[in-house]
Amino acid sequence: MTQAQDINIKLFSFGHSFGVPKTVDLLYSVRHFPVPNIDNYQQYDGRHKRIQNELLNLTQYEDKLKTIIEQLMNFIHEHNKNSITLAIGCEQGRHRSVAIVERLADLLGTT
């Protein structure tokens, strides 16, 4: 099992203010990343294209995505698991973490 499509990869976002999930294989935080620079951004979440475009075009988000994918591939190669759970958190779990999870799902071909 060396390819991501051979393994069930569960991706989810969470809000640190609601607690950190306890049963995950890989855990990342983006709460120190900038919030969207969009007026009234609270009315949207990280699935909204304006939020995604604003955040995912920032270098630190691109770098974080590369790091997560690299570490995920290393984890897959080092562990013999059929299922991997990966969680990404920001303060409320609505914007930054959701945008990254959505992009990872696109890149990994998960739903």
Beta strands 26-29 and 8-15 are unpaired
| 4, pLDDT greater than 70 | no
- Output the CA–CA distances (angstroms, integers) from residue 105 to 47, 69, 90, 101, in the order listed: 12, 11, 17, 6
What is the percent of the chain with per-residue pLDDT over 70, rounded to a whole number?
A: 94
Average pLDDT, the chain: 87
Query: pLDDT at position 1, please?
Result: 41
Q: What is the domain partition of the chain in residue ranges?
A: 4-108
Count Cβ atoms below 10 Å from residue 10 Cβ, excluding itself: 12
Distances (CA, A) of 9 to 12, 17, 78, 103, 109: 10, 25, 15, 14, 10
pTM of the model: 0.84
Section 98-107 average pLDDT: 93
For 59-83, the pLDDT digits (tens) are 888 999 999 999 999 999 899 888 8
